[in-house]
């Protein structure tokens, strides 16, 4: 039987992170919280296929949409809000 030897890891290789460490590392140390939602199958397929075409992750796309809808600054108005303007 042929013996196969394995070389050691290269000196500059990154250390393996746990899934939680990996998520937190991607977001500049900002703690993350998991959000689980149910979506219709058709919507899920559209999100998944369009993200695959763009080479993005579904979670990143949904995160981006949530950031747009719920900005940190209080002076911005949500997309579906109607301004309260009194005519003169």
Structure pTM?
0.52
Tell me, what DSSP letter sits at residue 54? H
Considering the domain boundaries, does residue 32 fall inside one? no
Cβ-Cβ contacts under 8 Å for 53 (sequence gap 6 or more): none
Q: Could you list the residue range(s) of the whole structural domain that residue 48 is in?
A: 37-72
Residue 45 has pLDDT above 70, yes or no: yes
Provide the 8-state DSSP code for 73.
Answer: -
Reading the block at residue 37, the tokens are: 């939602």
**Per-residue pLDDT, 7:** 73
In a domain, 60, yes or no: yes
Report residue 6's pLDDT band, with 50, 70 and 90 as the boundaries.
Answer: confident
Whether 48 is covered by a domain: the verdict is yes
Asked if the structure places residue 66 within a domain, the reply is yes
Confidence of residue 12 (pLDDT cuts 50, 70, 90): low
Asked, for residue 14, whether it belongs to a domain, the answer is: no
| Number of domains, the chain | 1
């Amino acid at each position: 039987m042929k013996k196969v030897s394995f070389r050691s890891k290269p000196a500059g290789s990154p250390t393996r992170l746990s899934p939680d460490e990996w998520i937190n590392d991607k977001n500049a140390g900002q703690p993350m919280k998991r959000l689980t939602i149910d979506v219709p199958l058709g919507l899920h397929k559209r999100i998944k296929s369009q993200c695959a075409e763009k080479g993005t992750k579904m979670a990143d796309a949904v995160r981006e949409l949530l950031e747009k809808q719920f900005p940190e600054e209080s002076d911005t108005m949500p997309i579906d809000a109607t301004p309260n303007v009194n005519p003169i």
